[in-house]
Structure 1
Amino acid sequence: MDTDSFFDEQRDQSATKSRIVAKYLPTWAKVIIPSAKKWNSKIAYADLFCGRGRYKNGQASTPLLVLEKAIAEPDMCEMLVTIFNDKNPKYTQALRENINSLPGINKLKNRPIVLNMEFGQRIVSELEKNKITLYPTFYFIDPFGYKGLSISLIASFLKGWGCECLIFFNYNRINMDFEKPAAFAEYMNSLFGTERANDLRQKIQNLSADERESTIMDAICEALKEVGGSHVQEFAFKKKNSTRTSHYLVFVSKHQKGLSIMKDIMAKESSIFEQGVPSYEYSPDPIQLSLFSLLAPPLDDLENMLLDDFAGQTLTMLEIYEQHHVDKPYLEKNYKEALRQLEKQGKITVNPPANQRPKRKGEITFADKVQVTFPSHKPK
């Protein structure tokens, strides 16, 4: 897509991305700020492919949505440092003008920094110059392709305390470029690491489209975990009139709390739910797709997993959720529902039992501190 025409009108995919970023940043800030205050530190947001800030029809894009959230929060007004970068000078000039005209912008103690640089290693030096690397930082990386996006760069963004990344991968282009001449090998090697990229080239031969997609995305997530992102969550964007994937948002965190918050936000943007479990997919035609279409009902699977994984143990509901949800699609409310069903079936012992717990909206509650005892052997 021509990058100039991209900002003519906001597409649903872009609106979904922007909502996810704008919802996550203030929630992340509320978690980080108490510790940042103790260390007398600021917090930061870095958008490294920022664009113009507005579409031609006047709709705000991610930079302005983020600044509006910051303006509305007193602590963020005081502590947040924002840095926006784009290599297109027309975009950065437009963004500066849009920022200057944003109502309440003068409430921010730290004036937004706007850079006009090619994405690459130099951007790290510029972040260091502006002291961004000293602060807990949420990075949004949304390139039009993937040139310049390397695992070593992402590693440098993740190394500080409280640092997290949300990265938009053009899966369609990455997938196609595996078949292109050797000139593209350098980009793939930078993105995956040379050893992993060579391994992928062998693995994906003769795979089906779905198997190939799963293999490539597993490799991306493995690479991110190796460079410090212990908690990774994907969100897929499907093509119009197709079940094929065009892009992925990949969230990278070092703490399960950040993962839990992002899963809740991404869940609300999902096009498909099965038994209340989100697909973590956006589709213009959701009736055509379902992550679960060929699988067993996901909540039933969760019940069986809990009986197997916690056999003979006694834990609180919150302990069960925090120990189990990483790398799985389930939300906290899914765990509560699965445990309610297991309790009804007499397959677990719960303290206090259902008849001693309050109801909310006609449903028996399952509070975080409720204790669950699993049998040593899975009930039949």
Structure 2
Amino acid sequence: MVNRSFFDESKEQSLVKADIVAKYFWAWAKIMLRNAKNIAYIDLFSGPGRYKDGSKSTPLLILERAIADSEMRERLITFFNDVDADNSQSLQETISLLPNIKTLQHKPLISNREVGEEIVKQFEEMKFIPSLFFIDPWGYKGLSLRLIGSVIFNWGCDCIFFFNYNRINMGLNNQAVQQHINALFGEKRADELREILIDKTPDEREFLTVEAICQALIEIGGKYSLPFRFRNAEKKRTSHHLIFVSKNVVGYSIMKEIMAKESSDIKQGIASFEYNIAPPKYPLLYALSRPLDELGDLLLDEFAGQTIKMIDIFNRHHVGKPYIQKNYKDVLLKLEHQGKIITEPAKRRKNTFGDKVKVTFPLKQ
């Protein structure tokens, strides 16, 4: 039996995690359906469907959204897997009780295979339709760079995975699980990480570890990644992260908006993504922790001497930074009021800054 004890109760962070995945699925699906005949949702560690307190986990949230939408009912394919046969059986029974489940054109597929080398090889040989993959192992066994790379390789395929920082941190120097850690980071990067973590503080260990996995994702084609941090109940220690990875900036932008709204800490309108402020030597995490005060100066510097639409400013600048579209509009309004930029049209509804407003930045002094 696989230890899936976190299904015994639905803690607030579990609900937030499920909510992030379900919200992204909906936004992603609506875009994909414009360009594909069918789409898929694939959950490789699906669990029993409900927490012990009766709350719905991700599979039920996804299926309920599909049932409620006429287009999704016809075009969504779902696949749920859990190596624990009891979990798979429970999920099957729970799904069968969903109201109007039989209105789905494609019956949910459920299996109880182990996620490992065999399934990775199979995925590497497949050509997927646009698919959203959710990989949520209890620990880290089965989660590997090759698996993530195989699922994001095809067009329209994004991945959200559970990064169990506590267990990974404990397992990095454990010879018994070395092969699993090496599979997750890549052997060379894992060895480098083990070396540089010696004598590091707990915060430094976390920053270095999450930075390492995000850099590894870039190397396998996951150019756009976003980590979202979950702390323990006392908010003193990290329990795990939910990491989004995509090859497409559109998906990245959508997920950033969703994660920003789910952040419990927001300063100056900037979402924390649940991160403590990372020092500059961790470039990806540091970029995700920059305050709003810096954004105006960043824009004046990067776009000096250019005339450019607001939406193009956002698209060119926001990747790897915590800012969402509203932050850019707020800062551009402030720069306009300060006379630091020229806008066209200058006369608009009060306190608005549309996507097509042209901005002329002054030359550098």
- TM-score higher than 0.5: yes
1:34 equivalenced with 2:25 (yes/no): no
CA distance in 2, matches of 1:113, 1:260: 30
Deviation at 1:107, TM superposition (A): 1.4
CA distance in 2, matches of 1:59, 1:126: 33
Query: Which of residues 175, 178, 190 is equivalent to 1:185?
Result: 178
Secondary structure, aligned partner of 1:53: coil
Q: Is the 8 A contact 1:49 1:143 kept in 2?
A: yes
Change (3 A) 1:125 1:112: farther
Number of the residue aligned with 1:374: 361
Deviation at 1:123, TM superposition (A): 2.8
The alignment's TM-score, normalised by the length of structure 1, stands at 0.89
Q: Is the 8 A contact 2:4 2:47 kept in 1?
A: no
Which amino acid in the other structure matches residue 307 of structure 2? T
Number of the residue aligned with 2:50: 54
1:336 equivalenced with 2:323 (yes/no): no
Deviations 1:14-64 (A, max 9, x none): 10111011111111011111111xxxx311000110001112332211110
Number of the residue aligned with 1:286: none
In the alignment of these two chains, the number of paired residues is: 357
Change (3 A) 1:146 1:28: same
Q: Is the 8 A contact 1:225 1:231 kept in 2?
A: yes
1:301 equivalenced with 2:297 (yes/no): no
What stretches of structure 1 of length at least 5 have no aligned partner? Answer: 282-288
CA distance in 2, matches of 1:71, 1:169: 30
CA distance in 2, matches of 1:292, 1:345: 31
Change (3 A) 1:66 1:297: closer
Q: Is the 8 A contact 2:76 2:106 kept in 1?
A: yes
Deviations 1:189-231 (A, max 9, x none): 1111111111112222222222221111111011111111111
Number of the residue aligned with 1:175: 169
Secondary structure, aligned partner of 2:50: coil
Deviations 1:325-352 (A, max 9, x none): 1111110000111111111111111111
Secondary structure, aligned partner of 2:343: strand
CA distance in 1, matches of 2:116, 2:290: 44
Identity rate of aligned residues, in percent?
50
Number of the residue aligned with 2:196: 203
Deviation at 1:372, TM superposition (A): 0.8
Equivalence map 1:13-28=2 (5 Å): 13-28=13-28
Query: Which of residues 64, 73, 79 is equivalent to 2:75?
Result: 79
1:247 equivalenced with 2:234 (yes/no): no
Q: Is the 8 A contact 1:292 1:298 kept in 2?
A: no
Number of the residue aligned with 2:283: none
Q: Is the 8 A contact 2:207 2:278 kept in 1?
A: no
The alignment's TM-score, normalised by the length of structure 2, stands at 0.93
Equivalence map 1:90-101=2 (5 Å): 90-101=86-97
Q: Is the 8 A contact 2:165 2:241 kept in 1?
A: yes
Change (3 A) 1:13 1:365: same
Query: Which of residues 230, 235, 251 is equivalent to 1:258?
Result: 251
Secondary structure, aligned partner of 1:3: coil
Q: Is the 8 A contact 1:163 1:253 kept in 2?
A: yes
CA distance in 1, matches of 2:276, 2:235: 12
Deviations 1:307-362 (A, max 9, x none): 11111111111000011111111100001111111111111111112xx1113xxx
Deviations 1:141-160 (A, max 9, x none): 00000012110111111111
Number of the residue aligned with 1:139: 133
CA distance in 1, matches of 2:242, 2:301: 32
CA distance in 1, matches of 2:94, 2:221: 35
Structural RMSD (CA): 2.1
Deviations 1:89-113 (A, max 9, x none): 0010011011111001111100000
Which amino acid in the other structure matches residue 257 of structure 2? D
Which amino acid in the other structure matches residue 53 of structure 2? N
Which amino acid in the other structure matches residue 75 of structure 1? E
Query: Which of residues 61, 70, 79 is equivalent to 1:65?
Result: 61
Which amino acid in the other structure matches residue 82 of structure 2? D
Q: Which range moves more in the overlay, 206-215 or 245-254?
A: 206-215
Number of the residue aligned with 1:104: 100
CA distance in 1, matches of 2:72, 2:123: 19
Which amino acid in the other structure matches residue 173 of structure 1? R
Query: Which of residues 345, 348, 355 is equivalent to 1:357?
Result: 348
Q: Is the 8 A contact 2:25 2:62 kept in 1?
A: yes
